[in-house]
Structure formats: C-alpha cells, structure tokens
Structure 1
Amino acid sequence: MSTTRCWARRTGCSWSRRAEPRSRWSSGVPELPEAETIARGLNRILPGRVVSAVTVLREDVVSGTPSRFAAAVAGKRFGATGRRGKNVVLALEDPSRATVGRAVDRVVVNLGMTGRLVPGSGAGPASASTHPAVLFRLRDGGSLTYDDVRRFGLLTHVPGAEWRRWSRRLGPEPLARSFTGARLRGILARSRSPVRSLLLDQRRIAGVGNIYAVEALWFARIHPRTPANAIGDRAGARLHRSLRRVLRRAVEAGGTTLRNYRAPDGNEGRFRRALHAYGREGLPCFRCRAPIGRIVFGGRSAYLCPRCQPEPRGRGAAP
C-alpha cells in the first residue's frame, strides 16, 4: 500500500490508500468539476464546426418539441463551450453573420445522472455511445452525441435574448472571484436550512452537489445538519476556503468518476482517490481515525466524522 500525504493544509493527516470496490459508490450526479472538465474538453474540438442536422432519438431529453429544437440548432456554428453551475453550455453562432456584439443562442446541457457528450468521427452516433439520445451531425463529417442511459438529463435551446434571464435562475459561481467569504456568510445568514441542504440549492450557490458539499464540510469541520444561520464567522471562513479548494482540486483531477461519468476523451475523473468523507462509511477518518458515519436527510446520504464534525446542540453555532 502506498502512503499519500493529505493535500489540505492544517489537517495534519496522512493515510494509506487502498482500492475500494465500486459497489461502495452510488452512481453520483455530475457536478461543477465534471461539467467544467467536459466543457474544457469540448472547447478544444467544437468551436468553428457547423451543425448540419440534428436528430432527436429520445424525445424526453429535449425541452420543447424535438422538431423545434432541431430547427433551432441545425445550421448553427459552435462557438465557445462553457459551463453554468452543473450545466455544460454550447454557444451557437450564425455562420452567415458577424457575432461580435450579438447575443448568441445556446444549448444548455443538464447531464442528469448519466448524461455524456461524446464526439465522433462519423455521421452516425459515436462508437463510444451506448444509449444515444440526441445526434448532432457536423458539416465536416463528424458528430457529437448526447448519450444518456437513464435519460434524466435535459437539453434546452436558449435564445440569445433570454440567456441572462435563464442564467439568473442560478446562484453565484463558487469559483468566481466575486464569490468571497463575505458573500458566502451573507448567504448562510439568510437561511435556517441545514448547511448541506443550502449548499445543494442551485438557487443559492451554483454547481455544488452532494459529493463536494460533503467533502467541503468535512474539511471545514462542520456537521451537515448545522443550521446555515448558526455558522459563525470563523466556521464560515473555513467553509469558504474548503469549498473553493475542494472544487479547484476536483477540476484539476478531471472530476470524480464513481460509475458513469467520463470526460469527452473517455477518461475517468481521478478525484475519487482523494475523497476524504464521501462514500467512506465505516472507514477511519483521516484526521482522528474515528469511523466515518453516514446520515440520511433530504433524501440523500451525508458522510461525516462524528468526532471532528459534532452535531450542533439546540441553536448552538458552529464556531
């Protein structure tokens, strides 16, 4: 067994890595790091390529009617690929018009639980696509396939004039410079919800899901059920640092593959090996060696160290 140093500052921990069976993990939902990895991968290969035709193979994965979706996208040229929250955003430009200063349309891809965007070299679905749902045929002979086993994802065409209104539905981006510690503490102060629930609320903070909420709370030593408005300034500052650091590290690692997630090049995310709490029920805490526990609330499991993250008593604040 190889021994790896803990990357987080001031945790004072080291541990032995060992392979853990995949059966320990739920399928997981793509979150900010996974969407960012996909967007970066597609941004290397899509911009400038023109969509010649769109075939909707599964009607339930597009917003609106398949014919309207296909008509809105066909003939457009892919611009920069980006991300908003957990969504991959494909910019669409009109090849016959200059785009400088113009509002461009977008296809917003919510990946659901098992959605993937798979580039291909032929006119049909990509060879790596096992459950093709939407096929974008490209003028240069290639393709882009939206593949989704469970079909919980959704592709939405957003006209350029409506983009800002659509984007305002989501909270601030936690990796943006404007997402300061003071801004997070303001968000916390306005809610009595358990802090894990607040972190998962996309209207409050965009892009954070269960994996990275659990990890950030472990590093910040905050119990997931702590009322958000009971978190003090010091704990709020720890949570701000931990959340941004966890998300940055996960992006650097290409995200977290539990079962289904893959980057556009087919590679798995490597952050699963760096998880400190999520999915580690019964294994020793890397800080204090107490067994990691699991609680269920809000319909989802939360993992925590009962010693490092004590449950708040009454209205007691996390210091």
Structure 2
Amino acid sequence: MPELPEVEHQARALRRILEGARIERAEADATPVLKGKTTPATFAEALAGRSLERIERVGKQLLLSFDAGTGLACHLGMTGKWRSRVGDEPPRHGRARLFLHDGCVLDYVDMRMLGRLEIVPRDAFARIVSSLGPDPLRDGLDASRLAARIAGTPRPIKNVLLDQTVLAGLGNIHATEALFRARVHPSRAADSLTPAEVEALADGILATITHALAAHERDDEIVYLSDRTDAPNPFLVYGRASEPCPRCGTPIRTLTIAGRTSPFCPRCQRLIQSGPRRGR
C-alpha cells in the first residue's frame, strides 16, 4: 500500500510530467475507482482542455488543481499508481487516462480498484483533509508535537501511528520501521513512552520517510515492495521475519496488531511494562 513517501514520490513525478502540459482529452472507465458524483462522462468533460496549476499532498491524499477551478482528488488506495507512456499499449488494470497535448498519456492503474478519483472544486481539498493530523513531511515533526498527538492514549503505539487523525500518511511499513529505529516495541502503550523515547520516535519517523524517498529516487513511477523482484528489500525490518536484526543479530519476530503484521526485534524493542507519563 502506498504510504506518505510513495505518494510524495508520485506527486513529484506528476508535477514533472504535467508541468506546462495541457490535457487534450480524458477517459475513465465505469469502475468503483470513480467516487462521489464523478462518472466517465463528467471525468472527461471536466478535464478536457485543462492545464495543471499545482499538485498538493497531505498524508496519502492528492489534489491535482487545474485552471477554471477544477480539481481531481486522488487516493491511491492499496495498488493505485499513475504511469506515463508514449505510443505504448495501454497497461493492464488501467482505469482512467489523461491524453496530453505532447503525445504523452497518463494512465491511472489500480489492480484492486480501492483507489479514488473524484472531480471536485479545487477549494474542496481543505474539507477532504480536514480530519487528518499533521503531515510529518509537510508540517514538520518534533518531540513536542508528537508528544501532544499521542498524549493520554493507552492504545498500542503502533495503532496510534496508523491513526490518520493523529499523523497523516504513515502506514504499516513506515510505522514499523520508525518504531524499530526508535527501539520501541509496537505493543507499548502510547502514553507509557518516556520523553527520550518520544524524541527517538519522532526522529525515527522522519528518518524512515527520508530513507524511503531516497530509495524511490531511481524509480520513474511508484514501485511497491511486492513489485521489487529484481532489487533488494530496502527496509530494515519490514519483510524480514526470521532474518537477523541489522543492529544486534537477533532473529526478527512478528506479531499482529490491529490486523497488521508487525515485525520487530525482541532484543532491541523490548516490551517494557510501565505506567503512563504524568504532567505532560
């Protein structure tokens, strides 16, 4: 599933492709990807002749803003991605396409069709993202801000990091990686973390986002971990069950939290039972 770094990578790629381009025509298939009142006809009508003005990203949400006040809200779901081509055959699982004036075609590809494309007024984006917490990359993140977001909740810290109303954009992979970097067990109660652990976790979140963005620099499009059959796993512990911990050599274990597989090192990320912090 695309998380903050993958969606940011997608936004940067779309800016490069669409900058200065005009959409000659647009097509969308009648699939569950089209949300709200958007239909194949309204999709085509709203985007034909439009030129990009800006692309915004908050968490996993994207808004492509065009002239005439037109917006295309996009969420990549679990398997969505935009792919560009010139003269090639349409990709498998293509659900919508933008034909640009220079001959380039942008295809929205989504095998599982859990993504979202919706024509909206571009000023509607604030409403779409109003329930989201701060975006670590866009808004910044430090120990004090993270402490305020997790204060008073006894939920497992892994659950809290996956809550988009707490922080926008983190998913299972990068929450797992951040907790490993911070040496915090994923089952720890969020309000039991010490100030030093909160600071380490804030640093870990930013470090895993930065690491993932750097890993994607060589990719022209989003490449999911499951797609990387010819490249090494770029993550420290995610997808490495039973492999030695890169820090101490202890075999990586997994547990299930909120229905998600959570790899962790039982030595580096000990489950410390302690009461909640007071006076924050």
1:36-55 matches, cutoff 5 A: 36-55=8-27
Task: Give the corresponding residue for 1:184.
Answer: 146
Asked if residue 239 in structure 1 is aligned to residue 239 in structure 2, the reply is no
Q: Which amino acid aligns with 2:246?
A: F
Q: Secondary structure at the match of 2:136?
A: coil
Q: Of 205, 209, 224, which aligns to 1:257?
A: 224
Cα distance in structure 1, aligned partners of 2:57 and 2:230: 17
Is contact 2:142–2:199 with CA below 8 Å preserved after alignment? no
Instruction: Describe the superposition over 1:220-273 as per-residue Cα deviations: whole angstroms up to 9, x where unpaired.
Output: 010101111111111000000111011011111117631248xxxxxx997x64
Any stretches of 5+ residues in structure 2 without a counterpart? 217-221
Q: Which amino acid aligns with 1:282?
A: S
Cα distance in structure 2, aligned partners of 1:129 and 1:315: 53
Task: Give the corresponding residue for 2:67.
Answer: 93
Give the paired residue count.
270
Cα distance in structure 1, aligned partners of 2:90 and 2:162: 31
Q: Which amino acid aligns with 2:252?
A: I
Cα offset, 1:162, TM superposition: 1.7
Task: Give the corresponding residue for 2:259.
Answer: 299
Cα offset, 1:179, TM superposition: 2.5
Q: 1:314 to 1:188 in 2, by over 3 A?
A: same
Cα offset, 1:178, TM superposition: 4.0
Instruction: Describe the superposition over 1:80-101 as per-residue Cα deviations: whole angstroms up to 9, x where unpaired.
Output: 334221233322123xxxxxxx
Task: Give the corresponding residue for 2:219.
Answer: none
Which range moves more in the overlay, 54-63 or 136-145?
136-145
Cα distance in structure 1, aligned partners of 2:276 and 2:244: 27
Asked if residue 72 in structure 1 is aligned to residue 34 in structure 2, the reply is no
Is contact 2:3–2:170 with CA below 8 Å preserved after alignment? yes
Task: Give the corresponding residue for 1:276.
Answer: 236
Q: Secondary structure at the match of 1:315?
A: coil
Cα distance in structure 2, aligned partners of 1:269 and 1:196: 30
Instruction: Describe the superposition over 1:175-219 as per-residue Cα deviations: whole angstroms up to 9, x where unpaired.
Output: 235432211110111422211111111121111111110011001
Cα distance in structure 1, aligned partners of 2:230 and 2:8: 12
- TM-score, L = length of structure 1: 0.78
Q: Which amino acid aligns with 1:148?
A: D
Cα offset, 1:128, TM superposition: 6.1
Q: Of 84, 89, 105, which aligns to 2:58?
A: 84
Q: Which amino acid aligns with 2:73?
A: V
Q: Secondary structure at the match of 1:141?
A: coil
Q: Of 214, 219, 225, which aligns to 2:187?
A: 225
Task: Give the corresponding residue for 1:150.
Answer: 112
Cα distance in structure 2, aligned partners of 1:312 and 1:188: 17
Task: Give the corresponding residue for 1:30.
Answer: 2
Cα offset, 1:281, TM superposition: 0.9
Any stretches of 5+ residues in structure 1 without a counterpart? 1-28, 95-103, 262-267
